[in-house]
Chains A and B, each alone.
Chain A
Amino acid sequence: MNDLYLAAVINTTFRYTTPVLFAALGSLFCTKAAVFNVALEGQLLAASFVAIVANYYTNNAFISLLAGVGAGAFIAWIVAVFQIKWKVRDMVVGTAMNLLVQSVTAFLMQIIFGSRGTVQGFGMVPLTKINPTFLKFSPFLYRMFEDLSTIDYLGYIVAIIIFIYFYKTVSGFHHLSVGISGTAADSLGINSQRIQIRAVVISGILCGFGGVVHAMGNVTVFAENMTSGRGFIAMGAASMAQSHSLVAIASSLFFGTMLSLSKTLQGYINSYFTEAIPYLCTVLAITIYGVIISIQKRRAKKIL
């Protein structure tokens, strides 16, 4: 196996990480406000679909991006109204919304494109790519970072911004306080409901970016249910990061690696089994994480 192959694998990893990272950031942004958002999957899928539709009609990457992000935010807003305003149970809202987005996108795909399966071509444009020519001195490094879209870089910047938001600003401080105790926050004059709704909508915006880059980042295509559980993988990544945005970068990269491995190993192992890899790895990862936490807890307890 030559060097460049490894670089290519890493490159693919970056690509697969981005949607997971954005969704994970969305997940922890909600968790920090004590909102359990199960509809990340639907938010991602809606964004992917609307971005492709916009791309189909306008052939413009920027407008498609805006449309996709808007779709993610819109779905999240519906989730917020049902879950926070009308106090519907989180599992019900999330599951129903995920299924709803699945069926609406399949429905619209038939209506707009007249086809089931995938939507490709039609002069649709991909996202703007960045090619770091200054890295050309090392073919390995250049291949690693070749052809990544702007949004791929944006993910890491957003993670840092979220970190600064929580620990340096007053607004982030209130957000964290709502996550600790909504009743206390309300009694002290901070509208916890408003903060929670805002958190969900922002998670929708973040998932919006994730969905757009998923559909337009590499090959510009939409396939039915193309997110295939990434929303839930992202939830796993966020919980393993203990809802810390910087650590979420690491856990998302881990899952991105698993996702890219499932593609690269297709040459060696039957594709049916490689497809199952990311899901089994998620289960394994959160299990091992749980093992570590329980060992830590047991060590902390000792008789004096």
Chain B
Amino acid sequence: MKHITKTYGALVANNSIDLTLQKGEILAVVGENGAGKSTLMKILYGLEAYDSGEILINGESRKFRSPHDAIDSGIGMVQQHFMLFPPFTAAENIVYGHEPKRKGILFNRAEASDKVKELCKRYGMYIDPNVKVADCPVGLQQRIEILKVLYQGVEIIIFDEPSAVLTPQEVKELLKTIKDLKQAGKSIILITHKLSEVMAVADRVMVMRLGQLIKTMPIGETSIEEMSFLMVGHKLETRKIKKIGQGSAVLKVEHLTLAGTGERNTLDDVNLFVRRGEIVGIAGVSGNGQSELIQCLTGILKFQAGSVIINDQDVSNRSVQEIRDSGCACIPEDRYYWGNAAEATLVENAIMSHYKKSNLMRYGIFHKKNTTQFANDCMAEFDVRYSSDKQAIQELSGGNVQKLIVAREISQHSPFLIAAEPTRGIDIGAIDFIHSKLLEKREKGDGILLISSELSEIFALSDRIYVMYEGKIAGEFTRKEATNDKVGLLMMGGTLNG
């Protein structure tokens, strides 16, 4: 790829990027969120058009108008968000788009199944062709995605943040698979911000930052520290956490059980507590009950057994409003699904769950000046960039939307805050800011329950750490006791000995 440039309106996503991939090598493209690596790969895969530059495959210039063209040129992509059809079987998903046919219009499912078995043998990955994708765990789903790409006969494979959704054990398997693919003669581009993976498998690495190419170098000539420095632009200081005393429990969860529809309960006898003045993190791969736990705590889901006590009040199965009134605020895990209404204005989004306060509303009628003032104050304090408080929130960038939501929830000044994936998918500046605000709240003496699939975030902020696996609390650590290995082991269902 030569001098690839891509802009979205005022934002330059890629500024004259050069990328070279040799046959049979693994090239890592690293950078923080918003660096432009995903955009670059979308251009290579034909999902986006570039403004200027050139793409050459084996020396020939190519134009990709759609993924179809990219695939025809031998490029395949395993995307971060899987493009699978859950009700269909693995074989149906793998051959999708290139189905073997009988008499030209009938779908030859038997032949598809055979072809999948062949692929499995050739590349050493096992999958049952007739299993429904909906029944597969995430690691298996990713394997289906990889087989899909291989079925199309590509030579170049792009992996976009593949380890984001995997347990540490699954990550090890994935890295092995990547190495095997290299052995089989494929050329691989690996997009990631996990530098340990880069060190483990890459031959060369390319660092991007804010839309620019910073440096390309062979793996032998660099280190994690150097890559990190280049990614961020300055030395990252590890944040110092102030030691403060913990108070009484502001959240107590006892024997919480939520029924499931399969062979096990969605939440099974969960016991945990959060004290005033501490941040408690829940580590675990997404999908092990964390979402449901949050929904039970906030009153959105009704659970069958157990109790939830917030701020010394029993709020088990109470309404959402009653739980909020008892002193619980929540930064939701999906800012678009739960956290805002896209077409509503910034003011309307900012006042949610504040608006019943007497200075904002009287006898059911809003005080326009006060509400506008409140929203503007929130956004100023939390560095939200916007043009007008009357614009629709969907015009803001993801980072600013998240900052507004964090502003709204922290401004509740509640003794207890749930922070779910508070920095998912936003740029490093915003992440830093939000972390400092969370720690500020902790120092004020409030309790925070932090749920994140980003282990580094859990380790950076938490005083204590729980690990969730398959709806149960698998283990508990203090900051001193916790190590990456121990936590990682519990996250994938293992047990500690001794």
* A touches B in complex, CB < 8 A: yes
Residue of B nearest to A168 (CB): B106
A275 to B462, CA, bound (A): 68
Kindly name the residue among A177, A180, A303 whose own CB sees the greatest number of chain B CB atoms within 10 A: A303
Q: A residues within 8 A CB of B218?
A: none
Contact B85 A187 (CB under 8 A): no
A149-190 at interface with B (beta carbon < 8 Å): 168-173, 177, 180-181, 183-184, 187-190
Q: A residues within 8 A CB of B101?
A: 170
Q: A residues within 8 A CB of B259?
A: 301-304
A142 to B85, CA, bound (A): 48
Q: Looking at the complex, which one of B88, B96, B257 makes contact with A188 (CB distance below 8 Å)?
A: B96
Contact A184 B106 (CB under 8 A): no
Residue of A nearest to B87 (CB): A180
Tell me how many residues of A have a C-beta within 8 Å of chain B. 20
Contact A304 B305 (CB under 8 A): no
Counting residue pairs across A and B whose Cβ atoms lie within 8 Å, the total is 58
B457 within 8 A of A: no
Q: Looking at the complex, which one of A184, A189, A304 makes contact with B265 (CB distance below 8 Å)?
A: A304
Contact A170 B84 (CB under 8 A): no
Contact A301 B261 (CB under 8 A): yes
A184 to B71, CA, bound (A): 15
A111 within 8 A of B: no
Interface of B is mostly: loop
A292 within 8 A of B: no
A181 to B68, CA, bound (A): 18
Q: A residues within 8 A CB of B87?
A: 180
Q: Looking at the complex, which one of B85, B92, B257, B305 makes contact with A184 (CB distance below 8 Å)?
A: B85
Contact A173 B304 (CB under 8 A): no
Residue of A nearest to B305 (CB): A303
A269 within 8 A of B: no
Residue of A nearest to B258 (CB): A303
Contact B85 A181 (CB under 8 A): yes
Residue of A nearest to B264 (CB): A304
Contact A187 B106 (CB under 8 A): no
Known: A187-B47, A188-B83, A304-B265. A173 touches B67 (CB 8 A): no
Q: A residues within 8 A CB of B47?
A: 187
Q: Looking at the complex, which one of A169, A180, A184, A302 makes contact with B107 (CB distance below 8 Å)?
A: A169
A300 to B260, CA, bound (A): 8
Contact B66 A177 (CB under 8 A): no
Q: Looking at the complex, which one of B83, B261, B263 makes contact with A187 (CB distance below 8 Å)?
A: B83
B314 within 8 A of A: no
B364 within 8 A of A: no
B99 within 8 A of A: yes
Contact A187 B67 (CB under 8 A): yes
- Closest chain-B Cβ to A304's Cβ sits at a distance in Å of 6
Q: B residues within 8 A CB of A168?
A: 106-107
A304 to B87, CA, bound (A): 26
Contact A303 B265 (CB under 8 A): yes
Contact B107 A173 (CB under 8 A): yes
Contact A177 B68 (CB under 8 A): no
Residue of A nearest to B82 (CB): A184
Contact A171 B105 (CB under 8 A): yes
A180 to B86, CA, bound (A): 8
Q: B residues within 8 A CB of A180?
A: 85-88
Known: A180-B87, A188-B83. A300 touches B68 (CB 8 A): no
Contact A188 B106 (CB under 8 A): no
B247-271 at interface with A (beta carbon < 8 Å): 257, 259-261, 263-265
A140 to B84, CA, bound (A): 53
A304 to B105, CA, bound (A): 47
Residue of A nearest to B98 (CB): A189
B498 within 8 A of A: no
- Closest chain-B Cβ to A228's Cβ sits at a distance in Å of 36
Q: Looking at the complex, which one of B88, B260, B261, B304 makes contact with A177 (CB distance below 8 Å)?
A: B88
- Closest chain-B Cβ to A90's Cβ sits at a distance in Å of 17
Known: A168-B107, A184-B84, A303-B257. A173 touches B264 (CB 8 A): no
Q: Looking at the complex, which one of B79, B85, B107, B260 makes contact with A301 (CB distance below 8 Å)?
A: B260
A183 to B82, CA, bound (A): 11
Q: B residues within 8 A CB of A171?
A: 105
B97 within 8 A of A: yes
- Closest chain-A Cβ to B490's Cβ sits at a distance in Å of 22
Contact A169 B304 (CB under 8 A): no
A176-219 at interface with B (beta carbon < 8 Å): 177, 180-181, 183-184, 187-190
- Can you spell out 8 A-B residue pairs with CB atoms less than 8 angstroms apart? A170-B105, A170-B106, A181-B85, A187-B67, A187-B83, A189-B67, A189-B97, A301-B261
Q: Which residues of A contact B (CB under 8 A)?
A: 168-173, 177, 180-181, 183-184, 187-190, 300-304
Nearest 10 Cβ contacts at the A-B interface: A184-B83, A189-B68, A301-B259, A303-B259, A170-B107, A180-B85, A300-B261, A170-B99, A187-B83, A188-B97
